[in-house]
Chains A and B, each alone.
Chain A
Amino acid sequence: MKHIISDVPAIPIVSHEKPDGSRWTIREKLLLGLSPSEYRAQFIRNPVNWLLICIFAVGIPIIIQRYLFGLASVTHASNDYPWGLFLGFGLFGMVPLSASGFMLGTTVEVFGRKDFHPIERLALLNGLLGYFFAVVYLEVDLGMPWRLPYPMFVSLGPAAVLFLVAWHVATYLSVQIAELVPAFCEWYGWLKGKRFIRSIILGLTIAGIILSTLHQGALGALFTYAPGKVHPLWYSDAFQWIHFFCSSIFAGLSMLIVASTLCKYFMRWRCDERFLDSVDRLTLGLGKGCAYAMITYLVIKIVAVAHDNEYAYLLTGWGQYYLLELGIGVVLPMFLFAYGVKHARVGLVRFAAVISALGIIWNRINTALIAFNWDLYQEIPHWKEVWITITIYSLYFITYRFILYRLPILYEWKGAK
C-alpha cells in the first residue's frame, strides 16, 4: 500500500477534489483513487491478505456447513455448555473491547476534553465494529438466526436480562452508527446529515453512556442466572454486573490503544499530522484512564470475594488460576500503565494495553467457559468452532481496515465539511 500511495501524489484521498480541481467519484474513493489493477496489485503484495485468504478458504465452507447442517456439524453440540466460543469470545469478549466508543464519546462530548478529538472517531469506529461483529457472532451461534428481531417486535420477554442486552445493543448500535454518520457524510459528500447529527450529539452520547452501562453490566448479570454453575470466584450476585461494567472501561480504552498503535505503525499513510502528532500523548492519557479503572476493578473484585466470604477458594487450584488471571490480566498491566504514564514511556503503555485487552478476553472466556460448570467437566471447543471464531474475527479485521482506508477516521477531511 505504502509504495503505491507514495507513487501517486494525489493519494491518499482526503478531499472531494482532485489536485486538478475535478471531483473524485465514489468509485474512485472506494478504490482509494487507484485503478483496479493497481488496487489488485497492492492487495496481493500484502502478506496479511494471504493469511486472511487461507483463513477464509477453510472458514467460509465451515460457516456454510453450519447454516446447512446445524450447529452440531461444527461444534460439540453440548447441552451442558450451551454457550461456546462464539458467545464466550465473540459476544462476551468483543463487547467490552468495544466500550471505547462510549468512553471517548463521554470524554470528548460530555467532559469537554477536546484534546482527545483526534482519536475520538477511531474509538467510535472501534466501538461500532466491535458491537456489530458481536452480533455477527451471535448470528452464528443462535439456533434460529432468522428470528433475531423477535425479542424486539414479535414476542417480548421484558423481565429477562437478555432482553436488556438485546435492546440496548440494538439501540446502541444505532447510536454508534449515528455518531459515525458525520465521517461517512464527509466522505460521501452529504453534509445535511452531518449537521443534523452534530446538533444531537450530546443526547446521543448520553444515550450511549446509559445503554453501555446497562448492557455491559447486563452481560455480567446474565451469569447471575447460573449461580451454582459459575465458580464462586468468578461469580457474585451483587457485583457481577459491576465487574463486567468496570472492566469494560479499561478493556475499551486498551483496545483503542491497540488499534491506534496498529494504525500508527501499519497505516501511517492514512493518518494525518494531527493524529500522528497527538497519538503518543493521547495514549498516555488513555493509559492513565486504564490504570484508574483497573485499580477500581481490582478493589471491587476483592470486595466481591470478601462479601461472599470466598477466601477459602483462593487456596484451591481454582483460586490459584483466579489469582493468575487477576495477576497477569489486571495487576501487571495496571502497574505497567502506571509506570508508563508516570515516566512517559508510550511503548510500555502500549504493551500494557495488549496484555490488558487479552486479559479481558481471558476473563470473559473464564467466566463463560472455563469456570462455568466448574465441578462438572471441561468442554474443549471443536476445531471448527475455533476456526469459525477466527474467520469472523478476520472479517472484522477486514471491515475495520476497509473503513479506516477510506473514511475520515484517522485524518481530517479537507473537503467541504
Chain B
Amino acid sequence: MKVKARISRRSFLGSGLAGTVAASVIGERPAEAAQDFQGYPDAMGVIVDLTRCVGCRSCEAACNKEQKLPQPAEPFNDYSVFDHTHHGQKRRTDETRYTVVNKYELPEIDHPLFRKIQCNHCNEPACLTSCFVNAYTKTPEGAVIYNPKVCVGCRTCMVACPFYIPAFRYSSAFHARIMKCIFCYDTRLKYGKPPACVEACPQEALTFGKRRELLDLAHHRIRENPGRYVDYVYGEHEVGGTSWMYLSGVDFDKVGMDMHLPKEPILKFVKDFLAIVPMVLTIWPALFAGIHLLATRKDTGTAEGNDENGEG
C-alpha cells in the first residue's frame, strides 16, 4: 500500500511539473505525500557487529573481486592502509572500492576497533529521492541499485547521501559513472545469496538476513550480552532506517559514525519546498495577471490595449 502511495506521488509530481499546470491533479496530493515510506517488508539487511570485526579486510577483497573493481594499490592483506588519510579523514569509498574498513584506536580500550563502511541501503534513500533521472532503485530485496545508462553525472546523490557513500568515476571522460555498493544485487542478492563481503567475513561480524528479523537479533544480542554492547542499533532509525545496521561496544561517534543524523528520511527536509511548487504554479498566474490589470488600468482601461505601448 505504502509503496503504491509513493509511486503515485512520484508520478503525480511528474505530470504536475512536466505539464507545468494541471491544477486538478494538485488537489490529490496532500494525503499521499504525507506518508513516509517505511521500507519493503521483506527487505534484506546486514548487522555489522563492530565488537567482532578484526580488521582483516577480507570483505574489501571479496567486494573487489565480486564487483570486478580495479586492482588496489596495496594488497588486501596490507594493514598499513589503515593509516592512510585524505585531508585528515580516514579512508572512504571511492571509484575503486565499494567498501572500506577503518581502524580506530581508543585510549580506553586495549585493542583497536574496526568499522566497515559501505552503502547502508536506506529504506528511503536520499540518493534515490534526489536523482532527477531516476537512476536509483530500491529493490524489494532491500538493495539500492544504480543504473549507469541514464545517469547524467550531476552528483547530487553524492551531495545528498548522509553517509558519504556514492563516489564518482572522475578518472574517465567517456565512462564516468557513480560507483557504489549495490548489495551484490545483480550477482547474488536476487538469487538468495548473501553479498560477497558477508560470505567472506571470517568473524561473522556481518550477519545477513531479513531486516525485520535482524532488528530482533540485534536487540537480542544486546540483551543477552550485558556489558558487551552500547544499547543502540545504528541504522534502526537513522534517516528513516537503513538495511545495513551497526552494533558497537563503544559510543558510535568514537568510531566515526555520525550520531547527529536525523531520524527522518532526508526527503522530509525537501518536502517544505516541494509543497510550495503547486502553489506557485497555480497562484502566481492569477496573482500577477491581476496585478497587471490593476497596474495598467489607468493607462488604457484594458490589458490588450496596453500592448502597443510596450513597443521597444
Q: A and B, one complex?
A: yes
Q: Which residues of A contact B (CB under 8 A)?
A: 66-72, 75, 77, 79-80, 82-83, 106, 108-114, 117, 120-121, 141-145, 147-148, 150-151, 154-167, 171, 182-183, 198-199, 201-202, 205-206, 209-210, 213-214, 217-218, 220-222, 224-229, 237-238, 240-241, 376-377, 379, 408, 412, 417
A159 touches B173 (CB 8 A): no
List, in ascending order, chain B residues with CB within 8 A of A159's CB: 9-10, 13-14, 129, 274
Query: A218–B281 Cα gap in the complex (Å)?
Result: 14
Residue of A nearest to B18 (CB): A158
Query: A274–B132 Cα gap in the complex (Å)?
Result: 46
One of B107-115, B159-167, B212-220 contacting the partner: B159-167
- 17 A-B residue pairs with CB within 8 Å: A67-B173, A72-B170, A77-B171, A79-B158, A110-B295, A112-B306, A142-B154, A160-B129, A160-B132, A161-B274, A162-B132, A162-B154, A198-B307, A226-B159, A228-B262, A412-B312, A417-B311
B87 is contacted by which of A69, A213, A377 (Cβ under 8 Å)? A377
Q: Is B155 engaged at the interface, CB distance under 8 Å to the other chain?
A: yes
List, in ascending order, chain A residues with CB within 8 A of B285's CB: 206, 210
Given contacts A70-B171, A70-B173, A110-B295, contact A144 B288 (CB under 8 A): no
List, in ascending order, chain B residues with CB within 8 A of A112's CB: 292, 295-296, 299, 306
Query: A108–B299 Cα gap in the complex (Å)?
Result: 13
Query: A222–B159 Cα gap in the complex (Å)?
Result: 9
Q: Is B231 engaged at the interface, CB distance under 8 Å to the other chain?
A: no
Given contacts A82-B158, A161-B130, contact A221 B284 (CB under 8 A): no
Query: A412–B311 Cα gap in the complex (Å)?
Result: 10
Given contacts A80-B89, A164-B17, contact A227 B312 (CB under 8 A): no
Q: Is B131 engaged at the interface, CB distance under 8 Å to the other chain?
A: yes
| 8 A Cβ contacts from B260-307 to A | 260-262, 266, 269-270, 272-274, 276-277, 280-281, 284-285, 288-289, 291-292, 295-296, 299, 303, 306-307
One of B50-58, B145-153, B182-190 contacting the partner: B145-153
B17 touches A237 (CB 8 A): no
> Given A83-B155, A117-B312, A147-B151, list of 20 further CB < 8 A pairs?
A68-B173, A70-B171, A80-B87, A109-B292, A109-B310, A111-B292, A147-B150, A155-B133, A156-B14, A157-B134, A158-B10, A162-B132, A163-B132, A166-B132, A202-B289, A202-B307, A206-B285, A220-B273, A227-B266, A229-B159
- Select the residue from A72, A145, A229, A408 with max chain B CB neighbours within 10 A: A72
Q: How far is the CB of B29 from the nearest CB of chain A, in Å?
A: 11
B310 touches A114 (CB 8 A): yes
List, in ascending order, chain B residues with CB within 8 A of A83's CB: 155, 159
List, in ascending order, chain B residues with CB within 8 A of A201's CB: 307, 310
A150 touches B152 (CB 8 A): yes
A79 is contacted by which of B130, B164, B291 (Cβ under 8 Å)? B164
Give the 8 A-B CB pairs with smallest separation, nearest first.
A143-B153, A158-B14, A77-B170, A82-B155, A143-B176, A221-B273, A155-B150, A225-B160
| 8 A Cβ contacts from B74-89 to A | 87-89
B272 touches A110 (CB 8 A): no
A221 touches B270 (CB 8 A): yes
List, in ascending order, chain B residues with CB within 8 A of A150's CB: 133, 150, 152
List, in ascending order, chain A residues with CB within 8 A of B132's CB: 151, 156-157, 160-163, 165-166
Query: A313–B130 Cα gap in the complex (Å)?
Result: 28
B153 is contacted by which of A113, A144, A417 (Cβ under 8 Å)? A144
A144 touches B176 (CB 8 A): yes
Q: Is B118 engaged at the interface, CB distance under 8 Å to the other chain?
A: no
Q: Is B229 engaged at the interface, CB distance under 8 Å to the other chain?
A: no
List, in ascending order, chain B residues with CB within 8 A of A214's CB: 277, 280-281
Given contacts A82-B168, A112-B296, A228-B260, contact A147 B17 (CB under 8 A): no
B133 touches A156 (CB 8 A): yes
Residue of A nearest to B162 (CB): A228
A111 is contacted by which of B170, B258, B295, B311 (Cβ under 8 Å)? B295
List, in ascending order, chain B residues with CB within 8 A of A238's CB: 272
B288 touches A222 (CB 8 A): no
Query: A147–B176 Cα gap in the complex (Å)?
Result: 12
A167 is contacted by which of B17, B160, B260, B295 (Cβ under 8 Å)? B17
List, in ascending order, chain B residues with CB within 8 A of A148's CB: 152
Query: A162–B160 Cα gap in the complex (Å)?
Result: 12
Residue of B nearest to A161 (CB): B270
List, in ascending order, chain A residues with CB within 8 A of B158's CB: 79, 82
Given contacts A69-B173, A155-B133, A225-B266, contact A202 B303 (CB under 8 A): yes
